[in-house]
Structure 1
Amino acid sequence: MPMQPWFSDAKLGIFIHYGIYAVDGWAESWSFYTGEVTHEQYMKQLDRFTASHYDPAAWAELFARVGAKYAVLTTKHHDGVTLWDTGHRNLDVVRDTPAGRDLVTGFVDALRERDLKVGLYYSHSDWNHPDYPSVRHVGPGEPASPFSHAEPGKEDPAAWERYLAYRDGQVGELVDRFRPDLLWFDGEWERTEEQWRMRELAELILAGNPDAILNARMLSHGDYATPEQGVPLQAPDGPWELCLTINDSWSYRPTDHDYKSVRRLVRYFTETIGMGGNLLLDVGPMEDGTIPAEQVERLEGLGAWISRHADAVYGTVAGLPPGHHYGPSTLSADRRTLYLTCFDVPREAVSIRGLRNAVRRVSVLGTGAELGHHVTGGLDAVPGVTWIDAPAAADLDEYATVLAVELDGELDLYRGTGRD
């Protein structure tokens, strides 16, 4: 199935890790799996999860205002606690927490009110389900947690069948009730594709919603790649998104104050879209459902930069390959305008190497100031260097300055080794 066109032009999505782990600020699911806290301590958070100020309409307003085009909510993390009223029950916030209500329906409705695409995260693995640790997929020398794997010789195929029926039932509910535009799976590393029965799961999803996009954690049935926490040096083949935290944590951790600055987020964002990807920027709401002020501040800072430079963001594709410009760039869909990002204050001139096109006009995005330009060098088929005059101080952006370079035709680059 061809990829839905909205995804590649979305550029910015918001990831939301929200669940009982926000009560005490422990790492989502992993804190009991790795022994940071006991399983008993972790599960006691169920008794104090209220979502008392949960306002999905306010979330959606914020996400739309900062320029995001989709958002992805953790409907069930590895701890197995679902955020919706599931008929395939193990643990859920409706019956097992003071929140006492379905939190997914409001999220979906609020996003659609703002014309945002709906993404739902679901973990294949479930470290609290009694039937989950019934088979094994452990490499040589790897530890096998009792939360995730059966002990050798104690595999239970019938229990695994029950678990797959439970998973399929829950995923089927998400598709039928919410018709998500995107399903974001996780936890796939704990089993093989055959154990997960990924083909059957993909068929189930697409029968219910043929337009649903699936991430690469559906293994060979995924539509796009999901690198985490660092811009890849080489873009993955096909569509992709970079999953990035605002501080160092996916979920709310009050002890984590290592927030990325707005300038750094702009850098991650421009590097990502310059390589043709989307940025899926994560927030971790507090237990009551409010997003911490430090996270809102950074979303708004990034959103303000995007608003000032929207022409270089939406309706663009990946820009110049490395070596042609010292910084990321994007290219308009008609391939006739290059957008060059400059993180540092340009000194004297900004250069483009290997540009065969003549340049019609260069301006500073956001202020419209026109810049002079000229070409030096070049021989036969080898183009010279295009030099663009540095913008005046008044035209520089606080975080990253973007130059719009209008070409005399579609982008034409020289990629050779020069004349012998």
Structure 2
Amino acid sequence: MNELNAYWVFTILMSFILIASGKYDPNWDSLDTRPLPQWYDDAKIGIFLHWGVFSVPSFHSEWFWSEWIGKSPDIVDYMEKNFPPEFSYQEFAKDFTAEFFNATQWAEIFTKAGARYVVLTSKHHEGFTLWPSRYSFGWNAKDIGPHRDVLGELNEAIKRTDIKFGLYHSLYEWFNPIYRADKATNFSSQDFVDGKIIPEIKELVNNYHPSVIWSDGDWEAEDTYWRSTELLAWLYNESPVKDEVVVNDRWGIGIPCHHGDFINCKDRYNPGELQKKKWENAMTIDKDSWGFRRNAKLSDYLTPLEILTVLARTISCGGNLLINVGPSKEGIINPIFEERLTQLGNWLKINGEAIYSSQPWTAQNDSINSNVWYTSKDDAVYAIDLEWPQNNTVILGSVGNLFKTADTVVTLLGNGGKLKWALNKDRVEIYLPDKAIVNSDTAWVFKIIDNKL
């Protein structure tokens, strides 16, 4: 038995034991045996939303405040030219107005995009909460700015759809004096965690019942400081979402890429090969920022083909794709973001069969055609082709064993009729119709079924 198979046998056996006991202990050995809720692996596609006070300057990135204090030259220059010398970051909050925010409209955009879950930044590293938190008095969206529970509004709108609602939450806060006091003691004191972080996350879970808790801001301290395993044991054993919730891996130094229901290891994680654990690629349509930038150029945004390329590679290797957009301070999802999401959704209407609820196949990327990535479902293998072939003939090297008899059927998703093919040793040639009459105009999916298997 190889190492990978042994890992899965151990995981399955421990899962059965813990399902029978109904109890997870506050340690990683126990927590890691929890079975991944099936909905998450089936979902494949989520929308990430970075929204907060940083959306007001909407310049540089969501790290505006920290990098301003850190004397980033472009931010210092921007502030000196546009604001009085005594201006503070906190003064931006009153202009986080969200006057055009319409949660139902957002939910419609995400539905058209083909998303199966949404993750909203409930609180980024600036500490500003998008809900009326008892633990962030005066620095939340109810007390200042929109004077609304914008998180709650989006939660209600999303839960009227078939999409799952999730929440990003930053553990640390750049300039919170209690956190900085704990840090000054080398984290021997846990006043910040005990008095704010743990009750804050429990408040979110109990009030909004999220299906995803996407943790971040963990990297300055060990998981023991954050009391991560204690919190997750409560989440899995006692919380109102204990059977459905999934969490990522950002729970302390050394934890990313090892623990959690799924791993995302680092921003834009896209390893290009299968992983031992379920994983997620959290990436941005704006190449340079997670938050909205008013000064972004068209070339700063991924093209539809670039998005589909990331999607194909991610899903083929067993990952989920979490696609980030940054709303404006007024609550608008910029038209370029809406267009990209709509283009993705239109593609999925034709080709989603190869994406949703799919599994990795024996090969991920074709052995001779680097433009082709594979998924599988039931008795079908799907070849996602990112470039229309010359002479309307696609050549594949990894699927020869599926073409040993004349019973193999190949179709092009979204187009009627069987495609002709020929086997030349282990290379398969599939003959396509003219591109002008094909429904998809970016990336094409061939469905292959060997009726003898």
Residue 265 of structure 1 corresponds to 307
Q: Which residue of 2 aligns with 1:351?
A: 395
Q: Which residue of 100, 105, 115 corresponds with 1:53?
A: 100
Select the residue among 261, 268, 285 that pairs with 1:229: 268
Q: What does the per-residue CA deviation read over 1:51-78, in whole Å, with 9 as the maximum and x for residues that have no partner?
A: 1111111111110111100000000000
Shift of 1:161: 2.2
**Cα distance 1:75–1:91, how it changes in 2: closer, same or farther (>3 A)?**
farther
- Report Cα offsets for 1:110-153 as digits up to 9, x if no partner: 11101111110000111232110124xxxxxxxxxxxxx42xxx
SS at match of 2:100: coil
1:276 CA displacement: 1.5
Q: Does 1:372 align with 2:372?
A: no
On the 8 A contact 2:285/2:337 being kept in 1, the answer is yes
Unaligned runs of 5+ in 2: 1-33, 77-85
Q: Percent identity?
A: 29
| Alignment: residue pair count | 386
The 8 Å contact of residues 225 and 236 in structure 1, kept in 2 or not, is answered as: no
1:186 aligns with 2:216: yes
Name the amino acid aligned to 2:282: C
> Is it true that 1:331 corresponds to 2:363 in the alignment?
no
Q: Distance in 2 between matches of 1:346 and 1:189?
A: 45
Cα deviations by residue, 1:61-118 (Å, 9 ceiling, x for unpaired): 1101111000000000000000111112245334542311211111111111011111
Matched, 1:15 2:41: no
1:302 counterpart residue number: 344
Q: Which amino acid in the other structure matches residue 357 of structure 1?
A: L
Opposite residue 66 of structure 2, the aligned amino acid is: Y
Cα deviation for residue 409 of structure 1 reads: 4.9
Answer yes or no: is 1:34 the counterpart of 2:34. Answer: no
Greater mean deviation of Cα atoms: 342-351 or 323-332? 323-332
Match among 126, 131, 137 for residue 178 of structure 2: 131
Show the counterpart of 1:201: 231
User: Which residue of the partner structure matches residue 293 of structure 2?
Assistant: 253
SS of equivalent residue, structure 1 residue 309 = helix
Q: Retained in 2: the 8 A contact 1:15–1:72?
A: yes
Residue type matched to 1:252 in 2?
F
1:302–1:94: structure 2 CA closer, same or farther, 3 Å change rule? closer
Structure 2 counterparts to residues 169-184 of structure 1, below 5 A? 169-184=199-214
- 1-structure distance, mates of 2:432, 2:44: 28
Per the alignment, do residues 325 and 115 of structure 1 end up closer, same or farther by CA in structure 2, a change over 3 Å counting? farther
Provide TM-score, normalisation by structure 2: 0.80
Q: How does 1:132-147 map to 2 (within 5 A)?
A: 132-135=179-182
8 Å Cα contact 2:55/2:62 also seen in 1: no
Q: In the superposition, relative to structure 1, how do residues 314 and 162 fare at CA in structure 2: closer, same or farther (>3 Å)?
A: closer
340-349 or 283-292, which moves further after superposition?
340-349
In 2, the alpha carbon distance for the partners of 1:42 and 1:94 equals: 15
Q: Deviations over 1:303-325 (max 9, x none)?
A: 11111112222231123233436
Amino acid at match of 1:256: A
Give distance in 1, aligned partners of 2:208 and 2:35.
22
Q: Secondary structure in 2 aligned to 1:366?
A: coil
Structure with the bigger percentage of helix: 2
Among 305, 315, 326, the alignment partner of 2:357 is: 315
Query: For residue 407 of structure 1, what is the aligned residue in structure 2?
Result: 450
Q: Deviations over 1:235-290 (max 9, x none)?
A: 33221111111112101111122111112111111221111211110010000111
Q: Read off the aligned partner of 1:370 and give its amino acid letter.
A: K
Asked if 2 retains the 8 angstrom alpha-carbon contact of 1:47 and 1:98, the reply is: yes
Distance 1:409 1:61, change over 3 A: farther
Tell me which moved more, 342-351 or 105-114. 342-351
Write the deviation string for residues 344-384 of structure 1: whole angstroms up to 9, x where unpaired: 2213432333532335211111112422112222xxxxxx3
- Give 1:60's aligned amino acid: A
Deviation at 1:231, TM superposition (A): 2.7
